[in-house]
Amino acid sequence: MQTRITQLLGIKYPVIQGGMQWLSRAEFAAAVSNAGGLGIITAATHATKEALVEEIRKTRALTDKPFAVNISMLPEVGPKDKTAAYFEAVIEEKVPVVETSGRSPEEFVPHLKQAGIKLIHKVPAVRFAQKAERVGADAVTIVGFECGGHPGMDDVTTLVLTPRAVDSVSIPVIAGGGIADARGFVAALALGAEGVVMGTRFVATTESLAHPNYKEWMVNARETDTVMIQRSIRNAARVMKNSAAAKVLEMEARGATLEELLTVISGQVGRRALFEGDLEGGTFAVGQCVGLVNEIKPVKEVIEEMVTGAEKILARLQGLLK
């Protein structure tokens, strides 16, 4: 299965694991890469450059296939911003691929190019995809309203965003949001994407570090069991519909400040709840495609079923033309 994305990244299948804070660790990323996709470890999980370097080396010890590091950049640079240190780590360690999100990666592009590192920039809107191409990204990921995490503020679905992005840039487009099986995979390719990114589906795997309580909830969840929060701070997030999310919505309705909201939405609160199996104690990013997750499987099986399923779908569609 060859697309511009497989050729660009040197991977067997155009299937990319989403960068998820706390969960995207070496063992998880290596499992995806070993299965033919692109595994990603998340820089923000690590408090220091040195910790990220250690995780990169651990990943490299577990796979000889390409993998990536996700660097989510804060909208504004502040004293606690570790972005520059993270980029130093990936460049020094010669990580083959970097995925960025948040503010423009423009200032770091020359350094990545010089090191021979491929850059994928993740965006929620076409105008940002065009900017990513202008500043030198090698590929762009466009995520629709259905996705878990941060889909932007425009509320446009993957079905519309993907072809709009394909028509608007010349670099390869990766589609994300609502994709959890072979059907979504083929649909994304039909829309013009040359690869897909999946977060929610990969959380529900045996290699995922998420607590079994959370995985069990995913298997039983419906597509209506997510909710959008954080619109008041213009950082909209799709999360599991639970007590913590309801509390955030109530706080936002009465005009709570960011400091107040952080008592519920901070990463540390979510991390504790995620690993302890407290389904009500924190906010968890999850996409609407959770309604398509029916079983916990190894990463390798998830990818293999996507590929073999895609072959069957394409054969069936070809048969319609006879």
For residue 41, the domain's CATH number is 3.20.20.70
Examine the pLDDT at 59 and tell me if it is beyond 80: yes
Collapsing DSSP to helix, strand or coil, 24 comes out as coil
Same domain, 158 and 242: no
Q: What is the pLDDT of residue 79?
A: 61
Domain-located, residue 239: yes
Same domain, 57 and 176: yes
Domain containing residue 249: 212-276
Provide the number of structural domains found in the chain: 2
Q: Summarize the confidence of residues 256-261 as an average pLDDT.
A: 93
Same domain, 18 and 61: yes
Same domain, 144 and 244: no
Q: What confidence category does residue 1 fall into, taking pLDDT thresholds of 50, 70 and 90?
A: confident
Q: What confidence category does residue 78 fall into, taking pLDDT thresholds of 50, 70 and 90?
A: low
Percent of the chain with pLDDT over 90: 90
Domain-located, residue 241: yes
Examine the pLDDT at 80 and tell me if it is beyond 80: no
What pTM, to 2 d.p., does this model score? Answer: 0.95
Helices 182-190 and 158-168, axial angle in degrees (round to 10): 40
Domain-located, residue 39: yes
Same domain, 84 and 159: yes
Q: To 5 degrees, how large is the angle CA 237–CA 266–CA 285?
A: 35
Same domain, 40 and 163: yes
> Distance between CA atoms of 244 and 264, rounded to whole angstroms?
7
Helices 258-265 and 267-276, axial angle in degrees (round to 10): 20
Q: What confidence category does residue 273 fall into, taking pLDDT thresholds of 50, 70 and 90?
A: confident
Examine the pLDDT at 111 and tell me if it is beyond 80: yes
Domain-located, residue 298: no
Q: What is the pLDDT of residue 75?
A: 64
Same domain, 162 and 13: yes
Q: Are 128 and 154 in contact (CB under 8 A)?
A: no
Same domain, 227 and 140: no
Domain-located, residue 262: yes
Q: What confidence category does residue 76 fall into, taking pLDDT thresholds of 50, 70 and 90?
A: low
Domain-located, residue 299: no
Examine the pLDDT at 320 and tell me if it is beyond 70: yes
